Structure 1
Amino acid sequence: MKFSPWPAVLLIIAGAAYFVPQADPSAGRFGSGFDSSGSAATPTLRDPLSPATRDLFSKSRPATVQIEQLGPSENGGVQGGLGTGFLISGDGQVMTAYHVVDGAQLIRVKTLSGQVYRARVTAFDNAADVALLKIDTRSALPFLPLASREAKIGEGVLAIGNSGGDFLQARVGRLLRLGARAGQADFPQNTFEMSAPLAPGDSGGPILNASGEVMGVVSYVRVNDEGKTLTSYAVPVEESGKLVQALEAGEKRDVPAIGLRFDGQHDGLTSPSGGVVAEVVAGSPAAAAGLRGSSYDSQDQLSQLGDTITAVDGIRTRSSNDVIFEIRRRQVGDTVKLTLSRKAQSREVSVPLVAKGSINYNQ
């Protein structure tokens, strides 16, 4: 689970949005924002369901699934998580949030009836945080239709998810805003903002309109300092939309990256201000270009800050978010010129952009 450095609120995303970390027996308890029992600190909030909403929930629930994934952790072990997904075809196509399955070595899909399938990723759009999975089934499965019309502010929404230890339960709210921007470059942009009280485990689940069509895929939430959900966000999906068409065509769209981890503690506080490099991933384009991360003494105390990136292609960057935003405006295969401040000296380096998935951040 990744936390924003924003002081007033926290934007929570897992792997770059929002699922429940599950402890691997050999790796110990994983994640933050969870109590010692492993349940989510953010409580599951429920609104009473009207008869019409309960009927919609009962009809839609069999086409939703729980997703469990296992993948490598940053310390070389194994970590896992639970998310949500939903079937969009009778032959086993499952849509979910990309961050729920990003980097997974094993993906298991569990249906309402208790059947468990192994799944594989067939398409994804990292920037949009949406992915398609495929499970092999011998019989037709129930599925949900995607939206055939544009969403409207104020309409009621039904989410189905796995937060708070629940299994495929309902959460209701209203659509508050269209085209919401996250404010962080590594979160999906132009999302639905909703009042539905979503929490860890709901990522990748469907947002349904009153007709039972999926309008969006749950991506991330905004919470206060006490962990209470303020607003939740979903990536819009439409049956005839370009995103859905690209996924159904099997496209795999990754975001550009160069292989850096940033120092949130000193981010934007240096002189000159910029994105402070905490670590350069070995074997990455950033490493080949000679960028430097922070260094530490024998007592593991910080002895020297890493490079501070103050501009990308001449565009001033005052924080790591600015750096990521500028990089993600470009395409895999492009080359960017970074302006660095190192020990009060300015220098420039050129770095090629590669697909983020090609960089081993977990080594």
Structure 2
Amino acid sequence: MTRRRSRFSPWPVVLLLGALAAYLSPQWNGSQLFGLTPPEVSSSHRTAPGADVPIPAALSADARKLFNEVRPASVQIEQLGTDGSGGLGSGFFISDTGLLLTAYHVVDGARIIRVRTVSDKVFPASVVGFDNAADVALLQIQTRGKVPFLPLAARLPRVGEKVLAVGNSRGDFLQPRRGRLLALNAEAGRADFPEGTLEMSAPLAPGDSGGPILNTAGQAVGVVSYVRVDGDGNTLSSYAVPVTSGEGLIAELKSGLKRDVPAIGLYFDTVHDGATNPPGGVIGGVVQGSPAARAGLIGLTRGADQNVKGFGDVIVSVDGVRTRSADDAIYEIRRRQIGQTVTLTVDRNGVRRAVRLPLVAKGSLSFSQP
């Protein structure tokens, strides 16, 4: 997939979980840290009420019939991370042997993954393969019996066609979200979101990530990846990673592909992002044991009241390319490969220095609250 650099500023729009902080590796952590389409972190959430929840009356007869057919193949995914935090997302079976697709950010960093079906059965699951940049993961549940599954469509839907999502947002359990396809190959608007997505009018929200996007024939055409909401939490637009039966990525995931993204172990602070003088990517925190930590990079310092007491390093260029924001820095990092090195120019209280860092796999770093 060729990335076209976007200059869209995401600042007026609250992405996904509201005001968040971005960092060089796509990982979500509570209300302050964010990266590639977060797992919907929740310390407490409504668990599966089974199949007794009424279907919204607003659904048309055709949509109601479709939803009843596809719901048994959709699942709720709960995960417990290595740092003790929990997450909630969605997914769907693509084979009767228990293979299922979800968004990678839903299970990123998970120590324990549980899959709950519409019949309220719970299965442990493991990751078979993933592509972090594409935000797609393939899981396998531990089951001896067969499960209902959704066929993958042979082609993508066309702009204007109706689509149906099934997810677990807003405290619901495997409920429908109806809409139309607005665009193909939509730009993410952020360097750490997947490009080439499907844009839809379906009113999705955190918790729906990883769930299926279905055409009118009940075939899966996408995996929910991220949403944009306004300051009041109203959905502006929803996005899904496209999947089809001929997709090479699906075959790679089945073969065990585990494709990560390069990282150096930084969190960014979006509150002050691009607002410093000179403007740059404001480091909010550093992952312990990471290349950034070993290089002596530092983030913001806060008092006991959590108010900022002082700035640390601000990234103003990567390999000589000017970076005026965290998004610029993330974009430049993502253009490179794991195992390569980059040279950051950082500004600390008006003094600049060059720092040379190796790029490591994001999954090799242990992200937690800085």
Same fold (TM over 0.5): yes
Give 1:129 shift. 0.9
User: How far apart, CA to CA, are the structure 1 residues paired with 2:57 and 2:41?
Assistant: 25
Corresponding residue SS for 1:68 = strand
User: How far apart, CA to CA, are the structure 2 residues paired with 1:362 and 1:5?
Assistant: 27
Give 1:112 shift. 1.5
Structure 2 contact 9–189 (Cα < 8 Å) conserved: no
Other-structure match for 1:110: 116
Residue number among 128, 138, 158 corresponding to 2:134 in the alignment: 128
- Letter aligned with residue 124 of structure 1: F
User: Higher RCO, 1 or 2 (CA under 8 Å, sep at least 6)?
Assistant: 2
Other-structure match for 1:172: 178
Give 1:167 shift. 1.7
Other-structure match for 1:329: 335
User: How far apart, CA to CA, are the structure 2 residues paired with 1:18 and 1:353?
Assistant: 22
Other-structure match for 1:246: 252
Give 1:84 shift. 0.9
Other-structure match for 2:15: 11
Give 1:300 shift. 6.3
What are the Cα deviations for residues 166-193 of structure 1, in whole angstroms up to 9, with x where unaligned?
A: 2211111000011111211222221111
What are the Cα deviations for residues 114-157 of structure 1, in whole angstroms up to 9, with x where unaligned?
A: 21100011111111111111112111111111121132101000
Moved over 6 A (4+): 297-300
User: How far apart, CA to CA, are the structure 2 residues paired with 1:194 and 1:301?
Assistant: 38
Other-structure match for 2:43: 23
What are the Cα deviations for residues 281-313 of structure 1, in whole angstroms up to 9, with x where unaligned?
A: 221011222222233568866443111111111
User: How far apart, CA to CA, are the structure 1 residues paired with 2:299 and 2:40?
Assistant: 30
Corresponding residue SS for 1:164 = coil
**1:195-210 pair list within 5 angstroms:** 195-210=201-216
Other-structure match for 2:264: 258
Other-structure match for 2:145: 139
What are the Cα deviations for residues 78-117 of structure 1, in whole angstroms up to 9, with x where unaligned?
A: 2212211100011110110111111111111111122110
Residue number among 281, 286, 295 corresponding to 2:292 in the alignment: 286
Corresponding residue SS for 2:137 = strand
CA RMSD, Structure 1 to Structure 2 (Å): 2.3
User: How far apart, CA to CA, are the structure 1 residues paired with 2:236 and 2:276?
Assistant: 32
Q: TM-score, normalised by structure 2?
A: 0.86
What are the Cα deviations for residues 213-252 of structure 1, in whole angstroms up to 9, with x where unaligned?
A: 1110011111111111111111111111122122111101
How many residues are matched?
A: 339
Structure 2 contact 263–360 (Cα < 8 Å) conserved: yes
- Letter aligned with residue 67 of structure 1: I
- Letter aligned with residue 216 of structure 1: G
Structure 1 contact 222–231 (Cα < 8 Å) conserved: yes
Corresponding residue SS for 1:309 = strand
Structure 2 contact 10–189 (Cα < 8 Å) conserved: no
Corresponding residue SS for 2:16 = strand
Judged with a 3 Å threshold, the aligned counterparts in structure 2 of structure 1 residues 234 and 299 are, in CA distance, closer, same or farther, namely: closer
User: How far apart, CA to CA, are the structure 1 residues paired with 2:240 and 2:71?
Assistant: 18
Unaligned runs of 5+ in 1: 30-36, 39-44
Q: TM-score, normalised by structure 1?
A: 0.87
Other-structure match for 1:360: 366
Unaligned runs of 5+ in 2: 1-7, 18-26, 29-35, 48-54
